[in-house]
């Protein structure tokens, strides 16, 4: 009985071994299928991943603050103003009346920039002149800079960005020393402190002439201070005198699907090419385009037709280009009457350090290499006139010129790498190749360093390692079983 049991155990061992082998094969296949996708980045991690999906537009537009944002309570005066560290991002709020103060402690060698994005509530009633003003002041109350941004003719609630700066410029006496400076933010427009509505609520408002009292709710703020170090060697102090100002031909290619971000820090990375997206009324989408020294960016945006034709909205579609420190470069807008529309940025000069000495504001803003932001907004009134959408959106982006050497900074910027786009890209990418992330990414990844491809490689290596490990365990276990059977047969030769 023992021998039969022995033979029976051996037979059962063979059955169990066969089942175990089948289970291992299943586990190996499952591990290979699961391990590689697990190593890939999330939906917003790379352009390649975003381009392979065609997601629907979100139901409700909103602004996405930075994940690592820090709180910065607004002070009503310089006393008690919280300090802002360059490289960090802060969240605060701005009341309808009064000013908000923040403090900067600056050295005497670096330029400092602070962008402030105000976010009115989705139901806020606005006038053309409603917006924010941002200034940087020294301890004597002298203004180092001042910038104002307003909501514009559409009067549609949307993120509004203005910026301030303390620049160290030759021949300028004020604000050139190390010390304490203040960022001062305040509301602009008839609603700031007046309490009265906008009488011009007819054409383009989408409200049918109905007047409502302006909201007293504070606006949320995102503040992004940046430090630009000095140069190792002196550079030219004259802006460009000549550049190719011909209107670029919009790219024509099959669009690649992309999902725009909901804020500056979550902007979707795009490159030269044609991109398709969806947008709903009242929504603002953010895209970032890496532009190196010497390169020349141009962009056009198309809005698809509506299902019905019932009026006209002024400045329904707005597109604005911002530089790496979120200072406005140039914007464009177009009205909408239900048929497809298109608008494009005017020709812009190449990016160059000496642009800061130019006479025009748009050229001055093209002073840095880095990630430039295309911000697209569809007025909320479009929904009132033509329906909730979503509406088709097409971006046509071209990056011309040739990459040049940078100015040579003497120290690191804050945040680190904000003025760096990686390895030189000598020739613009071909039209319609936007689905493949090209030579240099905004995070400094050189050509051939596509994060998605790296993730696939890592996933493949990980899956292969797992496969070898499981096969090794399988082989070792099988050998041990075989050895045990041989010992059993030796001990029972007549079995």
Surface-to-core class of residue 42, CB atoms within 10 Å of its CB (0-12 exposed, 13-18 middle, 19+ buried): exposed
Proportion of the chain in helix, strand, coil states, percent, rounded to 5? 20, 30, 50
Residue 447 has pLDDT above 60, yes or no: no
Name the band, by pLDDT with cuts 50, 70 and 90, for residue 81: very high
Residue 27 has pLDDT above 90, yes or no: no
Q: Which of these ranges, 74-78, 81-85, 427-431, has the smallest mean pLDDT?
A: 427-431
Strands (E), 65-130: 70-71, 90-94, 99-106, 111-119
Sheet holding 160-166, edge to edge: 70-71, 90-94, 219-228, 111-119, 160-166
pLDDT of residue 189: 86
Tokens of 386: 């033509």
Phi, psi of 10 (to 5 degrees): -65, -45
Strands (E), 239-352: 256-257, 268-269, 273-279, 284-291, 295-303, 313-322, 328-336, 341-344
Mean pLDDT over 20-46 rounds to 40
Q: Which of these ranges, 31-45, 109-123, 143-157, 224-238, has the smallest mean pLDDT?
A: 31-45
DSSP 171: T
Tokens of 309: 């034709």
Mean pLDDT over 135-140 rounds to 97
pLDDT tens per residue across span 296-350: 999 999 999 998 888 999 999 999 999 999 999 999 999 999 999 999 999 999 9
Report how far residue 80's alpha carbon sits from residue 78's, in angstroms, rounded to the nearest whole number: 6
Q: Which residues contact 97 (CB under 8 A, 6 or more apart)?
A: 187, 192, 193
Q: Which of these ranges, 188-202, 217-231, 445-459, has the smallest mean pLDDT?
A: 445-459
Mean pLDDT over 83-112 rounds to 97
Element housing 23 (H / E): helix 2-39
pLDDT of residue 465: 52
Cα–Cα nearest to 367, from 350, 392, 345: 350
Residue positions counted in the chain? 495
pLDDT of residue 472: 53
pLDDT of residue 223: 98
Angle value at C-alpha 120, between 115 and 122, nearest 5 degrees: 140
Cα–Cα nearest to 40, from 27, 28, 52: 52
Peptide bond into 45 cis (omega under 30): no
Element housing 147 (H / E): strand 143-150
Sheet holding 268-269, edge to edge: 268-269, 284-291, 370-378, 313-322, 328-336
pLDDT of residue 13: 38
Mean pLDDT over 128-140 rounds to 97
Residue 412 has pLDDT above 90, yes or no: yes
Percentage of the chain beyond pLDDT 70 is 67
pLDDT of residue 153: 93
Tokens of 402: 């040739």
Strands (E), 345-446: 370-378, 391-401
Tokens of 155: 């009067």
Residue 12 has pLDDT above 80, yes or no: no
Report how far residue 223's alpha carbon sits from residue 162's, in angstroms, rounded to the nearest whole number: 10
Element housing 11 (H / E): helix 2-39
More confident residue, 456 or 248: 248
Report how far residue 10's alpha carbon sits from residue 8's, in angstroms, rounded to the nearest whole number: 5
Q: Which residues contact 89 (CB under 8 A, 6 or more apart)?
A: 65, 66, 68, 69, 70, 222, 223, 224, 265
How far, rounded to the nearest angstrom, does the alpha carbon of residue 217 sit from its chain's CA centroid? 27
Element housing 28 (H / E): helix 2-39
Strands (E), 323-369: 328-336, 341-344
- Average per-residue pLDDT for the chain: 78
Name the band, by pLDDT with cuts 50, 70 and 90, for residue 133: very high
More confident residue, 461 or 431: 461
Report how far residue 380's alpha carbon sits from residue 51's, in angstroms, rounded to the nearest whole number: 27
Peptide bond into 444 cis (omega under 30): no
Name the residue with tokens 């790496």.
Answer: 324
pLDDT of residue 422: 66
Q: Which of these ranges, 94-98, 286-290, 324-328, has the smallest mean pLDDT?
A: 94-98
Question: Cα dihedral angle (434, 435, 440, 444), rounded to 10 degrees?
Answer: 120
pLDDT of residue 59: 53
Alpha helix segments (H runs only) across 70-139: none
């Amino acid at each position: 009985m023992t021998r039969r049991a022995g033979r029976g155990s051996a037979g059962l061992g063979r059955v169990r071994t066969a089942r175990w082998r089948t289970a291992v094969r299943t586990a190996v296949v499952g591990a290979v299928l699961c391990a590689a996708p697990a190593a890939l980045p999330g939906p917003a991690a790379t352009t390649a991943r975003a381009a392979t999906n065609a997601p629907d537009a979100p139901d409700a537009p909103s602004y996405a603050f930075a994940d690592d944002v820090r709180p910065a309570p607004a002070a009503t005066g310089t006393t008690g103003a919280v300090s802002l560290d360059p490289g960090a991002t802060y969240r605060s709020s701005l009341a309808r009346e009064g000013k908000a103060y923040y403090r900067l402690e600056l050295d005497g060698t670096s330029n400092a920039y602070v962008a402030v994005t105000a976010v009115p509530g989705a139901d806020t009633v606005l006038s053309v002149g409603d917006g924010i003003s941002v200034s940087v002041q020294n301890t004597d109350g002298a203004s180092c800079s001042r910038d104002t941004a307003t909501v514009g003719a559409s009067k549609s609630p949307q993120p509004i960005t203005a910026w301030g700066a303390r620049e160290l410029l030759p021949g300028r006496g004020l604000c050139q020393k190390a010390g304490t400076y203040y960022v001062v933010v305040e509301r602009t427009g008839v609603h700031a402190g007046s309490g009265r509505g906008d009488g011009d609520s007819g054409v383009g408002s989408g409200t049918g002439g109905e007047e409502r009292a302006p909201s007293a709710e504070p606006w949320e703020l995102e503040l992004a201070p940046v430090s630009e170090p000095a140069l190792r060697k002196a550079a030219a102090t004259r802006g460009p005198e000549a550049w190719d100002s011909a209107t670029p031909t919009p790219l024509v290619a099959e669009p690649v699907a992309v999902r725009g971000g909901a804020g500056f820090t979550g902007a979707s990375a795009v490159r030269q090419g044609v991109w398709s997206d969806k947008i709903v009324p009242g929504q603002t989408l953010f895209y970032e385009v890496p532009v190196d020294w010497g390169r020349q960016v141009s962009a056009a945006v198309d809005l698809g037709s509506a299902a019905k034709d019932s009026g006209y909205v002024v400045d329904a579609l707005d597109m604005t280009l911002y530089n790496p420190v979120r200072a406005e470069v140039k914007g464009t807008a177009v009205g909408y009457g239900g048929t497809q529309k298109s608008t494009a940025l005017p020709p812009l000069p190449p990016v160059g350090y000496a642009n800061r000495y130019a006479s025009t504001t748009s050229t001055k803003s093209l002073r840095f290499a880095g990630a430039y932001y295309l911000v697209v907004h569809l007025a909320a009134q479009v929904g009132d006139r033509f329906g909730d959408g979503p509406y088709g959106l097409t971006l046509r982006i071209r990056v011309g010129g040739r990459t040049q050497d940078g100015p040579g900074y003497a120290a690191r910027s804050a945040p680190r790498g904000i003025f760096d786009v990686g390895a030189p890209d000598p020739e613009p990418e071909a039209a319609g190749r936007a689905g493949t992330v090209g030579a240099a990414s905004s995070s400094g990844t050189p050509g051939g360093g596509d994060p998605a491809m790296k993730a696939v490689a890592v996933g493949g290596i990980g899956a292969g390692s797992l496969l070898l490990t499981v096969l090794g365990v399988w082989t070792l276990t099988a050998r041990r079983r075989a050895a045990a059977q041989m010992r059993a047969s030796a001990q029972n030769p007549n079995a």
